[in-house]
Structure formats: structure tokens, C-alpha cells
């Protein structure tokens, strides 16, 4: 109950101050050479945090025509985030393990 009251107070503060609330962040875990989800849907401006909970390195990238990116090598125990500021469907993969795939739909 206290957390709902606090969240409401923070939301009211943003409205009163005329500020934009901080974007949400979706967490995707990588383990056993897999993403923990096959597809997700987020809103434009939200970010996805890729957590490497695996014992090996990964390299998150997308070659989607609406927004190519490469987050570089992520060592075990680290994480990296990507803000999706364009709408569309992004096919995200690991450059090291091509069978690792997730689709990010941005509305």
C-alpha cells in the first residue's frame, strides 16, 4: 500500500512540475545461450536492459532496417541497455551465438 501511495505522489509531482516521467526499462536475461523471452512489446522511448547471467560473453545487435545497433561484447555478470526511440519491429540477436533471438516490438 505504501508503495502505491509513493508512486502516486511521484506521478503527481511530475504532472505538477511539468516534467516527463522516467521511461520504463524491461529486463531481459541471457542464460544458457538463450534470451529469457522470445518477444516483447514496449513503448517508444523505453529501454531494454540485457543482463548476461550466462558463463560466456554475448554481443547484442540488430540489423533491422528501422534501426541498426551493436551493443558490443557483454561479459558474464554484466548488463547493457538500449533505448528504443523508433517505432517498429526489431530482430535482436547475439553476434556470437546466432541462434539467440528476440523480437522487440516498439509501439
- Asked if 102 and 40 count as a contact pair (C-beta separation under 8 A), the reply is yes
Q: Where in the chain are the domains?
A: 23-106
- CA neighbours closer than 13 Å in the CB half-sphere of residue 46: 16
CA dist 93 and 65 (Å) reads 14
Element (H, E) at 5: helix 2-17
pTM over 0.85: no
User: Is the pLDDT at 7 greater than 60, yes or no?
Assistant: no
3-state secondary structure of 9: helix
Compute the average pLDDT of residues 82-89.
95
Q: What is the pLDDT of residues 21-67, one digit of tens each?
A: 555 899 999 999 999 999 999 999 999 999 999 999 999 999 988 88
The CATH fold of domain 23-106: Immunoglobulin-like (2.60.40)
pLDDT at 73 over 50: yes
Amino acid at each position: 500500500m505504501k508503495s502505491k501511495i509513493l508512486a502516486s505522489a511521484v506521478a503527481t509531482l511530475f504532472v505538477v512540475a511539468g516534467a516527463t516521467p522516467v521511461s520504463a526499462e524491461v529486463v531481459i536475461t541471457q542464460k544458457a545461450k538463450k534470451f529469457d523471452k522470445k518477444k516483447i512489446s514496449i513503448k517508444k522511448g523505453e529501454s531494454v536492459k540485457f543482463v548476461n547471467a550466462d558463463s560466456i560473453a554475448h554481443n547484442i545487435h540488430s540489423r533491422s532496417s528501422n534501426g541498426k545497433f551493436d551493443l558490443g561484447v557483454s561479459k558474464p555478470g554484466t548488463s547493457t541497455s538500449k533505448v528504443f526511440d523508433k517505432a517498429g519491429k526489431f530482430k535482436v540477436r547475439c553476434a556470437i551465438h546466432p541462434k539467440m533471438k528476440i523480437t522487440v516490438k516498439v509501439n
